[in-house]
Each structure stands twice: as C-alpha cells, then as structure tokens.
Amino acid sequence: MAIGFVLCSWDGAVEVETYDDSFVFVRLMDLLYDPKSRHSAEFKLLKYVDLHEFVRFNARQMPDLIADLELLKSLVPPGRHHDEEVSTLDRLIHLAERCREDRRELFLDFIGD
C-alpha cells in the first residue's frame, strides 16, 4: 500500500509528485492512529488522511498540516527506521511549506492506494 504526495494547482498541473514506495508513511500513520497515544486528539488535519483514499489540503490549511507533521515527527521512536521516517516527514513538510508560500493556488494531495 503506497501513498502518493502530489503538489498541484487547481487545474491539475503537477508541480511535484512523489510516492512512498517503502511504506514509511504507513508506519508513521500507525503512530497517529495508536489508541494509546496521548497525542491522537492533537492532530488537526492528519487524522483525516485515509491510506486508501484521496485527501486534498489547500494552502490555507498548511500551517495546521505542518504543525501535525512536526508533531508526528516528534513521536518517531528511535530505532532502525528513525532516519527514514524523519526524512519522509521532512520531505512532506517541505512540500507543505512550498504550498503555503506559493502565490498561485496550490494543493497538497495525499493519494491512497
């Protein structure tokens, strides 16, 4: 189950398209959905991402999405996959910042499998 991340304009023109072929984001979402996590309720937008569906966020939502991604990054446990997971979140934060800062109407799409 790979998930895609696409930065695109309203007319569908793709600025950046990348895929999580190594399933890093799936592992990260397990942290988000962990019922024992005391942080689950703190996520404003990531809680709406379904790994099997399409979700679109607009530029005005980017501050909340960036905050969610930073929170998720703080929850990444040390261990074998730590660097890969942090790198994936940093890549997503970069896309979200680009979406927020661009003068055109851009969107960040999460495309589930």
pLDDT value of residue 38: 67
Return the closest-CA partner of residue 59 out of 108, 5, 6: 108
In a domain, 40, yes or no: yes
Measure the CA–CA gap between 81 and 107, rounded to whole angstroms.
29
Top-confidence residue, 77 or 45: 45
Is the residue at 113 inside a domain? no
DSSP H/E element including 68:
helix 62-74
Q: Look at the chain and report how many structural domains it folds into.
A: 1
Per-residue pLDDT at 42 exceeds 70: yes
Is position 56 within any domain?
A: yes
Query: Quick check: is 69 in a domain?
Result: yes
Q: What predicted TM-score, i.e. pTM, was given to this entire model?
A: 0.90
Containing structural domain, residue 72: 4-108
Hey, what are 20's tokens? 């999580």
Nearest alpha carbon to residue 91 among 111, 73, 76? 73
| Alpha-carbon radius of gyration of the chain | 13
